[in-house]
Chains A and B, each alone.
Chain A
Amino acid sequence: MVVNFVNFIGSTVIDFAHSVGLFILFLAKAIKAAVTHRLSIKKLLLYMYTIGVESINIVVLTGTFTGMVFALQTYIGFQRVGGEQFLGAVVALGMIRELGPVLTGLMITGRAGSAIAAEIGTMNITEQLDALRTLQINIYQYLVVPRIVGSIIILPSMAIIAMMCGIAGGYIISVYVLGLSPEDYTTSIKNFVELSDITGGLIKSSVFGLILSWVGTYKGYYTEGGARGVGIATTQSVVLSSSLILISNYFLTKLLERM
């Protein structure tokens, strides 16, 4: 009984360490491929388009409604202490520093990160990855690097769109629903939002871009089994990416505070 329990704990720890090692080694191999091979601009633009541009609808929708709800909820609290004139600044800081990057990361994980895992996973189970190996094509350079670099580059642009939509959504609610003056809303933003807030938000979104594409390509690359395996890899990709985005967000916030 005790031996079985110890055996279980031991094998779980070993499996976990093996998975983490494999995950980190995967990124190391991608970095090596990125350094030693020329990046195809055509592929890079293609993946920036499929990961980012094709996600614009969902980013605009999420950003706008988050800004609207944020303004509505904040107003209720601020009204009690007479701080309505700070509504614009609070919505803008919230969207720029946290909600814009995090929600963009999560939404693109759901849309594009899962698609990356499913596509590469399907290629894996249908021997397309083996075919690339036999043709002496570096899979990291061909499939992984353009997606990771594309994602790192395009995520900040998507986050900017989410931030702007959120601030605009907050403006619509503040001015047209809550009766705040347009000047109060915009002036508070000008007074309290600094450039470092924006750069911090963009750095975060780049890191989230790395996470979602790294996890998506990794899960696809190590897909096993048939259609069920692809389904599992896709689900795991979304769960792991989302978790890592939320966890890393805390540490990035702490880190960026000190900079």
Chain B
Amino acid sequence: MIKNNTTNKAPKIAIKLVDLKKKFGAKFVSNGVNLEIPAGKMTVILGRSGEGKSVLLKQIVGILKPTSGNIFIDGIDFSTLSESEYNEQLKKCGYVFQFAALLDSLNVLENIGITLFEKNVNRETILSLVKEKLSLVNLSEDTLYKYPSELSGGMRKRVGLARTLITNPQIILYDEPTTGLDPITARIIHELMYQMQQELQITSVVISHDIEIFKYADYVALLNEGVIKFFGEASTIWESKNEYIYQFIRGLPDGPIQKDIAYAKDKA
């Protein structure tokens, strides 16, 4: 299943980041990120390990608070919202963690249905919804009562995705969804993400080092030295003359991207 839907029409923006900065100690990991992520499309964020890609996603989803800058989701500036409004808006976003982050004391049913159990939704309703999401991520009902320790890496990631889908998010942020998986399982996960995006019109933002993802992505952004150095359509990425993306996707040791990842500027 390979994408073929490139369009020239300017897409609606789902997420807009304006001069986003995040400082840890004296170091800026995000150093003024400006990015517009189109709605209903898959955008891949590339960058070397330690460049702050996960930090960027965690700021969008509210796990980390930006030091400065603005995050707009569906045109709403998150910095202007009260805590309850902010939490309400965050319900639009789902997050799939690098290692799934399933609660290891809960079985698959309880993990996927955790938000519904917390709202005291009828158990039969939860069971039916969980089965529906399990089928969506191509997992059998046999896994319902298994614990995370009994699942393979790929299964765990699919359960993590099902847990995110049960909240019906408009936006899903994927943090390296195929890390540690064999190429076949990685491809299954990629196709699953693509299927979710196509069938449910979900905006997908994916951090990945796997260049196979370009087959499914609509847009690609490159993060380097805490800022976005490239943003463009995935279909044209191999022809791009941008020196950063040219070096990165070809894995060239020489170029503008420094070999030393300890790039963060000391602002102290």
Chain A residues near B (Cβ < 8 Å) = 123, 126-128, 130-137, 142
Nearest to A40 among chain B residues (CB) is B118
Q: Chain B nearest CB: distance from A45 CB in Å? A: 15
- In the complex, the answer to whether B63 meets A130 with C-beta atoms within 8 Å is yes
Nearest to A134 among chain B residues (CB) is B95
- In the complex, the answer to whether B104 meets A133 with C-beta atoms within 8 Å is no
In the complex where A135-B163, A136-B87, A136-B90 touch, is A130 in contact with B115 (Cβ < 8 A)? no
Q: Chain B nearest CB: distance from A131 CB in Å? A: 4
Nearest to B63 among chain A residues (CB) is A130
Q: How many A-B residue pairs have CB under 8 A?
A: 47
The interface centre, meaning the residue of A123, A126, A134, A136 with most chain B CB atoms within 10 A of its CB, is: A134
For B93, the chain A residues whose CB sits under 8 A away are 134
- In the complex, the answer to whether A135 meets B115 with C-beta atoms within 8 Å is yes
- In the complex, the answer to whether A131 meets B97 with C-beta atoms within 8 Å is yes
Chain B residues near A (Cβ < 8 Å) = 58, 61-63, 87, 90-91, 93-95, 97-99, 101-104, 114-115, 118, 163-164, 167
Which 5 pairs of residues, A with B, have the shortest CB-CB distance? A131-B101, A127-B101, A134-B95, A130-B63, A135-B115
In the complex where A126-B99, A127-B97, A128-B104 touch, is A134 in contact with B115 (Cβ < 8 A)? no
- In the complex, the answer to whether A128 meets B115 with C-beta atoms within 8 Å is no
Q: Chain B nearest CB: distance from A225 CB in Å? A: 14
- In the complex, the answer to whether A137 meets B63 with C-beta atoms within 8 Å is no
For A134, the chain B residues whose CB sits under 8 A away are 61-63, 90, 93-95, 164
- In the complex, the answer to whether A136 meets B101 with C-beta atoms within 8 Å is no
- Which residue of the partner chain, among A123, A131, A133, A142, contacts B62 with CB atoms under 8 Å? A133
- In the complex, the answer to whether A127 meets B99 with C-beta atoms within 8 Å is yes
Nearest to A141 among chain B residues (CB) is B118
For B164, the chain A residues whose CB sits under 8 A away are 134
- In the complex, the answer to whether A130 meets B167 with C-beta atoms within 8 Å is no
Q: Chain A nearest CB: distance from B120 CB in Å? A: 8
User: For the complex, what is the distance from the CA of A131 to the CA of B93, rounded to whole Å?
Assistant: 12
For A131, the chain B residues whose CB sits under 8 A away are 95, 97, 101-103, 163
- In the complex, the answer to whether A130 meets B97 with C-beta atoms within 8 Å is yes
- In the complex, the answer to whether A128 meets B103 with C-beta atoms within 8 Å is yes
- In the complex, the answer to whether A123 meets B103 with C-beta atoms within 8 Å is yes
6 further A-B pairs in the complex, CB-CB below 8 A; given A131-B95, A131-B102, A136-B115: A128-B102, A133-B62, A135-B114, A135-B163, A137-B114, A137-B115
Nearest to B91 among chain A residues (CB) is A136
Q: Chain B nearest CB: distance from A46 CB in Å? A: 10
For B94, the chain A residues whose CB sits under 8 A away are 134
- In the complex, the answer to whether A128 meets B101 with C-beta atoms within 8 Å is yes
The interface centre, meaning the residue of A126, A127, A142 with most chain B CB atoms within 10 A of its CB, is: A127
Nearest to A123 among chain B residues (CB) is B103
Q: 16 interchain pairs (CB within 8 A)?
A: A126-B99, A127-B99, A127-B101, A128-B101, A128-B102, A128-B103, A128-B104, A131-B163, A132-B103, A133-B63, A134-B61, A134-B62, A134-B90, A135-B115, A137-B114, A137-B115
User: For the complex, what is the distance from the CA of A123 to the CA of B62, rounded to whole Å?
Assistant: 18
For A142, the chain B residues whose CB sits under 8 A away are 118
Q: Chain A nearest CB: distance from B157 CB in Å? A: 13
